[in-house]
A and B are shown apart, each in its own frame.
Chain A
């Protein structure tokens, strides 16, 4: 009978907390959106599945060794933890509240040396880091996975349309206003007392407006790792929703005549220009913004591999095999941040809300900038390509093309929109560099 009881007490059903059940539901919802609705399936499938894995009760896949030891260890071990972390345990309170107090001490308010000592203690007692926790430390905490993905994106990007019409870079710059407006929104919500975001957290939330998954993961891993799960989920979900969010804004801000503007054919761009461009960009980063060097450096490197034409095999690996492998681990690691006690908070709702606003403002600013440029320049510019200034390559450019075709079936804007689109990638990486410089 005793054994039956211990089996029951070790089961998932006995230990499942309502929060974990809710998060498993969220994981299933992400899988449903990815599989049935085709929302960014490449990322939402691993994220959703990782989220389910992270919330399996008692398995502790997303916990560090110390967290697991505090959760599962014996009373004697807990007392040693209390000593190391400098927590006083109330002997009358019972073991469950001890676990709680020690868990809180691990999450916040302990000195780095104390945390390291606690980790050593846990490993000494035979506990190991959970699988997802290890993935997270290797892939995201180190910053590697987003940067490798950025290299792959660089290797996939053709800067031809941008080089043919470099002024579209301004559209990519204007759309980054979404990032900073959202930052201000998050700060404003804190001032009003609705939420409690620090400036670092507000900056990490703002980057969602850059519509660039790897950039937002990179920035939040540096500035606000505790919000990473919510930020990554918001970022990728809204990227999937670009075709729904953008067109109404684009229609509202332009007249039917502007939407019919036909743009002049892009000039051909020579191979030498394409080879030199990543080097020029890198030079500017070196001179003016070394903080964006990790992101833009990898991006330029990937692009140079593509355009140089002499390392076909490396370029092919960066675009396909390597980016796919990295995506798997990145997705699972983001999923590990979907733990109930961290994700189910009012802040998450705030982040999801601010994310939509960020996208909307970025789109609107891009369109308005394109209208302005159309007004002052001799070359006609269709304002619809402005919305592609938010990154989200190539989805945002396709949206511009589609809306353009609705009003003039002969007007193919895709190549024209690719210019601002890749400019948006550069713009959001620059904005990320500024944030890291200012707050890091």
Chain B
């Protein structure tokens, strides 16, 4: 193969290949997003059923716990810096 021709083929393959990878993964993003939406809409079964009963108290606890931990860490750091 001629050098110039080889270079052109290389450029062509690069454009074609990179373009195709992007198109394919874009389609995959769209398909995945649609799939996720469909699943959360029509079959949210276990996650949605448990969520209302369990989550709110857990979140409260977490907030309190985080505050206590943050305070403790803060104090520990201050003590050790000196």
Contact = CB atoms under 8 A, between A and B. Distances in A.
Interface centre among B9, B36, B47 (most CB of A within 10 A): B36
Interface in B7-39: 7, 9-11, 13-14, 16-18, 20-22, 24-29, 31-33, 35-36, 39
Contacts of A187: 6-7, 9-10
A427 B7 CA distance: 24
A180 B17 contact: yes
Contacts of A179: 17
Nearest to A292: B24
B44 interface: yes
B1 A199 contact: yes
Interface in A189-245: 190-191, 198-199, 202-203
27 contacts: A166-B28, A170-B22, A170-B25, A172-B25, A177-B18, A180-B18, A184-B14, A187-B6, A188-B7, A191-B6, A199-B1, A199-B10, A199-B13, A271-B46, A272-B43, A273-B35, A273-B39, A284-B28, A288-B27, A423-B25, A430-B24, A430-B25, A431-B17, A434-B20, A434-B21, A435-B17, A438-B13
Contacts of B32: 162-163, 166, 169, 277, 280
Contacts of A249: none
Contacts of B27: 284, 288
B7 A163 contact: no
B70 to A, nearest CB: 11
Interface in B22-81: 22, 24-29, 31-33, 35-36, 39-40, 43-44, 46-47
Contacts of B10: 183-184, 186-188, 199, 202
Given A270-B46, A288-B24, A288-B27, 16 more contacts: A170-B25, A183-B14, A184-B14, A187-B7, A187-B9, A199-B6, A276-B35, A276-B39, A280-B32, A280-B35, A284-B28, A284-B31, A423-B25, A434-B17, A434-B20, A434-B21
A434 B35 contact: no
Main SS class of interface, A: helix
Interface of B: 1, 3-4, 6-7, 9-11, 13-14, 16-18, 20-22, 24-29, 31-33, 35-36, 39-40, 43-44, 46-47
Given A172-B25, A280-B32, A423-B25, A180 B13 contact: yes
A342 interface: no
Contacts of A289: 20, 24
A10 B39 CA distance: 70
Contacts of A423: 25
A176 B18 contact: yes
A274 to B, nearest CB: 10
Given A179-B17, A270-B40, A434-B20, A426 B28 contact: yes
A435 B13 contact: yes
A184 B11 contact: yes
Nearest to A173: B25
Contacts of A273: 35-36, 39
